[in-house]
C-alpha cells in the first residue's frame, strides 16, 4: 500500500466514533506506515487533549498524526496485548517485544516496545527492528583508507576493537558488520548485548538481565569459560567490565565493544580514567573507530550548488585548514549539492543515512603517548600527524562526493 493511501486509511479510521473504530486495524496501519516510511521508531506521545504519533526517519522525528484523547488508552492496550505486557498495569514502566508481519509485502520483523507512565498517561515507543542486508563493511561509508585499516585490525587474532559515539550513531551496525565479516564455521563468536537488536545466524547471543544479576561484568566472566574466539560486549560502562575485557583481549581473544566518547582519541584516556593501566591499554587496543550518521541526499531531487565565502570559511575552520584567501577560493569552486525534496524522499530532500568516521590505529608513537598518560588532544595531534582523517574531514569528503550537505555534517558533529 502506498504511503498516501495508508495515511488516508489511518485518518479515516481514527476519525470514527470510538465504538466504530477498529483499534486492531488502526495499530496495524500505523506500524505499516512506519515500515513504508523507513522509520526506525514510532512514538505514541500523550498530551492533555490528544495523542501524538511521531515517526523517526533518518534520525529526525516528524509529527504525522494527532488523534483524539479517547483513542490513547485503546492504542496502548492493543500494543500491550501484542507484546504480552500487563494491560492492568499503568504506573510502572514495561518493556516487551513482538513480531509483526505484513502479508502483502511478505515481510516479518521484530518490534521492541517501551511503555512509560507520564503525567498525561502512558507513553509508548516502538523500535522497528527491520533486518535488511546492511551488515556489510563496504556499505557503511568508510573511505578506502579507513576501510583498509579496519580490515587489517579485524584480521588480528586477539586485541580490542572499540567503536565510539553517542546513542544512535550506528555503533551497533558497525559491530554487527565486523562480526558478519568474521563469522566463519571455524570460530566461536559470543555476544553480550543490552538489548539484542538483531538475531544473526552463527552467533551465540546473550541478553544482559540485571533482574537476575546478569550484568556485563558477570556475563563476560561466564563467556570466557565458553571457549570463544571472538567476543562482543555491547558497552564498556565500568571499571570491572573494562578490566575483564582488557584481560580477555590480552589472553588471546578478539574483543569488540563500544564506549561513549565524542571522538576516537578520547577513548584511550577514558580507559585510563576507568583505572586500566597504560601498559594494558597499549598492549590490547588495536583500533578505535568513532562515528556519526548523516542523512544522505536524495539522488532523485538533489540540486547542485556552490559554497559562499562564509560557508567556505566556516568549513575550513572546522577541518583545521589554513584560512587563506586562496584556500577559501579553492573550496568555493567545489561543486556540492543541496537538499530539495520530492515524492521519493517525502519532501525532506534526504533518503537514508551513511556513516562519517574517524579511525585511529594504535601506532608505536600513540602507544608511547598512552604510556606517558597523554590526554586526548595530545593523542589526536599524533594521530593527525600520522594521517588520521577526522570525522569532519570525512564528512567534508562526502559533501564533495555529493552524498550529503555541509549543514548535515555540522549538525551531527556538534549536536
Residue by residue, pLDDT tens for the chain (415 residues) are 688 899 999 999 999 998 999 999 999 999 999 999 999 999 999 999 999 999 999 999 999 999 999 999 999 999 999 999 999 999 999 999 999 999 988 899 999 999 999 999 999 999 999 876 568 999 999 999 999 999 999 999 999 999 999 988 999 999 999 999 999 999 999 999 988 888 888 999 999 998 888 999 999 999 999 999 999 999 999 999 999 999 999 999 999 999 999 999 999 999 999 999 999 999 999 999 999 999 999 999 999 998 877 777 777 777 777 667 677 777 877 888 999 999 899 899 999 999 999 999 999 999 999 999 999 999 999 999 999 999 999 998 999 899 999 889 989 988 7
The DSSP element (H or E) to which 25 belongs, if any, is helix 23-36
- Please state, in angstroms and rounded to a whole number, the distance separating the CA atoms of residues 31 and 127: 10
This prediction's pTM: 0.90
User: Contact at 8 Å (CB) between 162 and 245?
Assistant: no
Sign of CA dihedral 185, 191, 196, 198: negative
- Please state, in angstroms and rounded to a whole number, the distance separating the CA atoms of residues 222 and 216: 10
The DSSP element (H or E) to which 154 belongs, if any, is helix 144-154
User: Contact at 8 Å (CB) between 389 and 146?
Assistant: yes
Q: What is the CA radius of gyration of the chain?
A: 24
Q: How many CB atoms lie within 10 A of CB 368?
A: 12
pLDDT score at 144 = 97
pLDDT score at 121 = 96
Of 143, 165, 189, 163, which Cα lies nearest the Cα of 287?
163
pLDDT score at 110 = 94
- CA distances for 189 relative to 232, 237, 243, angstroms: 8, 21, 20
- Please state, in angstroms and rounded to a whole number, the distance separating the CA atoms of residues 261 and 268: 10
Amino acid at each position: 500500500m502506498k504511503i498516501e493511501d495508508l495515511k488516508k486509511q489511518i485518518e479515516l479510521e481514527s476519525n470514527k466514533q470510538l465504538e466504530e473504530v477498529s483499534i486492531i486495524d488502526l495499530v496495524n496501519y500505523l506500524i505499516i506506515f512506519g515500515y513504508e516510511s523507513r522509520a526506525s521508531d514510532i512514538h505514541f506521545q500523550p498530551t492533555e487533549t490528544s495523542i501524538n504519533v511521531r515517526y523517526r526517519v533518518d534520525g529526525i522525528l516528524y509529527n504525522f498524526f494527532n488523534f483524539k484523547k479517547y483513542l490513547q488508552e485503546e492504542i496502548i492496550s492493543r500494543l500491550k496485548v501484542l507484546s504480552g505486557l500487563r494491560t492492568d498495569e499503568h504506573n510502572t514502566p514495561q518493556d516487551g517485544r513482538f513480531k509483526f508481519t505484513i502479508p502483502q509485502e511478505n515481510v516479518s520483523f521484530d518490534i521492541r516496545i517501551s511503555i512509560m507512565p507520564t503525567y498525561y498517561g502512558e507513553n509508548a515507543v516502538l523500535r522497528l527492528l527491520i533486518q535488511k542486508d546492511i551488515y556489510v563493511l563496504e556499505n557503511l561509508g568508510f573511505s578506502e583508507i579507513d576501510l583498509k585499516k579496519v580490515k587489517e585490525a579485524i584480521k588480528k587474532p586477539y586485541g580490542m576493537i572499540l567503536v565510539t559515539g553517542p546513542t544512535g550513531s550506528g555503533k551497533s551496525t558497525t559491530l554487527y558488520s565486523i562480526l558478519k565479516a568474521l563469522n566463519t564455521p571455524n570460530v566461536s563468536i559470543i555476544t553480550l548485548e543490552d538489548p539484542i537488536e538483531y538475531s544473526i545466524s552463527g552467533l551465540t547471543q546473550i541478553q544482559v538481565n540485571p533482574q537476575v544479576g546478569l550484568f556485563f561484568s558477570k556475563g563476560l566472566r561466564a563467556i570466557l569459560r565458553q571457549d570463544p574466539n571472538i567476543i562482543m560486549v555491547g558497552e564498556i560502562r565500568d571499571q570491572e567490565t573494562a578490566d575483564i575485557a582488557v584481560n580477555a583481549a590480552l589472553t588471546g581473544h578478539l574483543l569488540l565493544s563500544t564506549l561513549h566518547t565524542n571522538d576516537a582519541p578520547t577513548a584511550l584516556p577514558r580507559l585510563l580514567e576507568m583505572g586500566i593501566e597504560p601498559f594494558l591499554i597499549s598492549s590490547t587496543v588495536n583500533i578505535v573507530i568513532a562515528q556519526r550518521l548523516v542523512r544522505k541526499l536524495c539522488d532523485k531531487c538533489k540540486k547542485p550548488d556552490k559554497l559562499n565565502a562564509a560557508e567556505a570559511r566556516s568549513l575550513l575552520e572546522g577541518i583545521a585548514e589554513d584560512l587563506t584567501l586562496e584556500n577559501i577560493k579553492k573550496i568555493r569552486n567545489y561543486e556540492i549539492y543541496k537538499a530539495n525534496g520530492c515524492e521519493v524522499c517525502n519532501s525532506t530532500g534526504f533518503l537514508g543515512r551513511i556513516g562519517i568516521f574517524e579511525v585511529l590505529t594504535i601506532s608505536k608513537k600513540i602507544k608511547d603517548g598512552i604510556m606517558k598518560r597523554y590526554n586526548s588532544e595530545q593523542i589526536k595531534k599524533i594521530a593527525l600527524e600520522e594521517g588520521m582523517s577526522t570525522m569532519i574531514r570525512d564528512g567534508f569528503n562526502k559533501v564533495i562526493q555529493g552524498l550529503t550537505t555541509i549543514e548535515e555534517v555540522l549538525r551531527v558533529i556538534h549536536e
